[in-house]
Chains A and B, each alone.
Chain A
């Protein structure tokens, strides 16, 4: 019987060496007893002498890797179990691939335990700073209680991670010291008194704040962070309070009445409107958004913006120029003199305005104050372009079959050109997105005509345009005819 005792430093490579010697000497597992108490007997005292020409046996790489991990397990039988399995492996080399084998399954379980312990050590060691923060090499120390003998195999991880600082990790069995770039191991120590560390309070604050009391899952926590580690984790001290307070906090959140938005919310919303390139909000919020518009300076003069009105699913959209004096006051489109004229002509043309969505190319009233009156001013290209954003939003919302453009401004906003309106009136043009636009004059043009005869003639033409619109609504757009007219 050979008694082999392995040292507590370099245990894995010592076992490998000893196992190789025993195997070479042909010692069966029954002939060897393994121990990890280095004081009892020296390693090489009882190491068997190999025969002159040993039969070299190759061992799968996977076994060597497994053995190197299992050697750090706390179980005192680990060396014997490894040798027992190694002995069998001589005759059955495929055994490493047999996951159903009892002995292999037990060894794999031990391997898993060591890996888990190593992983938890990487995760749960908590350093405190023991030197000055401004030192060229900062120094830290930690106290840790691992389940297995995992200090030595895990130390290289900390070297790779914390190479530019000095640190030591003290455990009851061993301690590891990294100073000036050199790694060394020392004897175990009782728990040292480490100085308070201000960052630890911040860490506790973080731990408390990142916890969501509405989703308490204590078992999910303890399965990954078992209680045995809690005594050395500073943040664990806060856990009982977090758990006991959670239901009340969750209830309070649920029961709290909704509050009004703070004052800065409205400013932020306006600021945001300036960043966006296309309206993408909910449709019922569109009128409110138009009301809040500050995209061009017109808003500062007008009473209010006037969004379009009418059925959201209208097949016809009527686009005028901009709100006038009356519309600006009422906040409703087409209610002034021109709007009333439009209504009269439309009625005689058989066009039901209530079925159409009525809006303007520009949503704010542009005018020049003159005494007690406000004199209408045509919006310029920049204003039309700024406001097209809202017109596009309304178009996207209603998606009409036909758009009736009244006057040059509407034509410009819808087709890109407001020129030669009198020549284009009564014709149908197609927008880039395929919607058709029937061009006509603006009713205020009729109001400005002083020659009665000419006014009657133009009114008749306007009526014809509206009739045409009404007809197109009934038949749907007719491309062939519109091409002929255009």
Chain B
């Protein structure tokens, strides 16, 4: 077997990494290289350097160290029983690719993941070595996201957390039963223990000692995880239930939802459907409502049929249509919590309304300028010179918001 070129390894190992939805490069510590001793910076906000035609942003060099794996997770392109081409980067190859891409302004940093080879410790040790070289030998100050291996030794996790901005571990499936069925070698309890351990380490690293000195920072951009949508039979209520549990238990920064997508050489155990992109979108919307809009899980899934979100309407609009007795809301008097429940109003719009109405009464046109989507919000609010009249009570209100009927594709 001849050695693979760097280019063919990159093709294999980025293809193998693309099913991980995470790409964030935001929320870490601010730092730069103005002292001239290295390169790279992080300014808090992430930057998406390119977009692929699948609509996903490319912020980080997202690659696997190797796609050899001893696990056999049915949904995964890299499972041991798949016949995809295999490759493995050396430590120096990953370092060089990251440096060369970063200096050309292609990326914000590195997102390194890996198949599990030999033993969890050996795999994790190689990943930590890559990050150590980048930080200590190349003086790289850019963003680094490391996927951790659940069973790796605590010292390795500790080292990874000191060097990287974010650590993550994917639960992939919302229920233990699905995981047992589709990813037999993965142990959900162990994944939860790893997340709990992360939280404890992070909390320990932010407590100042009695001398007042802070211990070294541990993964300042926190931890995240991913759940695959549509590979098992779990409904949206189960998925959102699991994410609220994860957010509350382990203080995750993000739960990513990834529509299960056909993979090359896929397992016969899984549905070969086109990925449920709209469902994925609705889950993200619901996730936002839960975290930033004061919604309760019960409120979002209660009206849902079979525990699944309405695909035709966004979850906030669906909720508002089911609770018309609360509306219309007077935007000149209503409290913040209630304004956040108006469909078509984002957090920014609500803040602008609250800021402006301290000085004067707000008209319909003002809200348009403040960024409110009036096609959605109109029937649910009253403003100076605007009342929806009987609109809120008409039986056809739902029909107003439905997407136009599409002709079925012949192909």
Contacts and interface: CB of A to CB of B under 8 A. Distances in A.
Interface string A196-218: 01011111011111111111111
Interface stretch (B35-43, B163-171, B201-209, B248-256): B35-43
Contacts of B358: 94, 97
Interface string A174-199: 00000001000000000000000101
A214 B55 contact: no
Given A99-B355, A102-B369, A207-B52, A262 B81 contact: yes
A159 interface: yes
Contacts of B19: 212
B15 interface: yes
Which interface class (under 10, 10 to 19, 20 to 34, 35 or more) fits B? 35 or more
A221 interface: yes
A345 interface: no
Given A163-B39, A215-B275, A272-B71, A221 B52 contact: yes
Contacts of B17: 210
Nearest to B179: A280
Nearest to B35: A163
Given A100-B365, A207-B52, A217-B55, A212 B70 contact: no
B18 A209 contact: yes
Nearest to A279: B184
B6 interface: yes
A160 interface: yes
B320 interface: no
SS class, residues of chain A in contact with chain B = helix
Contacts of A119: 47
A223 B263 CA distance: 27
A467 interface: no
Interface string B256-286: 0001011111111000101101000000000
A14 to B, nearest CB: 26
B266 A256 contact: yes
B10 interface: yes
Contact of A140 (B81, B104, B139): B104
Contacts, number: 233
B231 to A, nearest CB: 13
Given A142-B105, A209-B18, A98 B359 contact: yes
Given A123-B49, A212-B19, A275-B120, A164 B54 contact: no
Nearest to A241: B53
B80 interface: yes
Interface in A93-110: 94, 97-102, 105
A233 B48 CA distance: 13
Contact of A250 (B57, B262, B277): B262
Contacts of A126: 104-106
B256 to A, nearest CB: 14
Contacts of B264: 253, 256
- Which of A201, A214, A218, A285 is most buried by chain B, counting CB atoms within 10 A of its CB? A214
Contacts of A281: 180, 184-185
Nearest to B186: A280
A219 B281 CA distance: 14
B7 interface: yes
B11 interface: yes
Given A97-B358, A165-B39, A285-B184, A254 B272 contact: yes
Nearest to B31: A160
A218 B103 CA distance: 28
Given A100-B365, A221-B51, A272-B185, A261 B81 contact: yes
A330 interface: no
A44 to B, nearest CB: 33
A83 B185 CA distance: 67
A280 B359 contact: no
Interface in B177-232: 180-181, 184-185, 187
B266 A211 contact: no
A254 B184 CA distance: 24
B262 A161 contact: no
Interface stretch (A67-75, A263-271, A301-309): A263-271
B178 to A, nearest CB: 11
Contacts of B51: 220-221, 224-225
Interface string B60-80: 011000000111100000001
A253 B101 contact: no
B348 to A, nearest CB: 9
A160 B103 contact: no
Nearest to A162: B39
Interface string A139-175: 0101000000000000001011111110000000000
B145 to A, nearest CB: 15
A164 B36 CA distance: 5
A224 B33 contact: no
B180 A282 contact: yes
Contacts of A209: 10-12, 14-15, 18
A199 B101 contact: yes
Interface in B82-132: 82-83, 97, 100-101, 103-106, 119-120
Given A100-B362, A246-B53, A281-B184, 10 more contacts: A124-B50, A161-B41, A164-B139, A199-B101, A199-B104, A210-B15, A219-B55, A235-B50, A250-B262, A269-B80
Interface of B: 6-7, 10-12, 14-15, 17-19, 32-41, 43, 47-58, 61-62, 69-72, 80-83, 97, 100-101, 103-106, 119-120, 139, 151, 180-181, 184-185, 187, 259, 261-268, 272, 274-275, 277, 352-353, 355-356, 358-360, 362-363, 365-367, 369-370
Interface of A: 94, 97-102, 105, 119, 122-129, 138, 140, 142, 157, 159-165, 181, 197, 199-203, 205-221, 224-225, 233, 235, 239, 242-243, 246, 250, 253-254, 256, 258-259, 261-262, 264-265, 268-269, 271-272, 275-276, 280-282, 285
Top 5 A-B residue pairs of the complex, sorted by shortest distance between their CB atoms? A100-B366, A220-B55, A217-B55, A261-B81, A160-B32
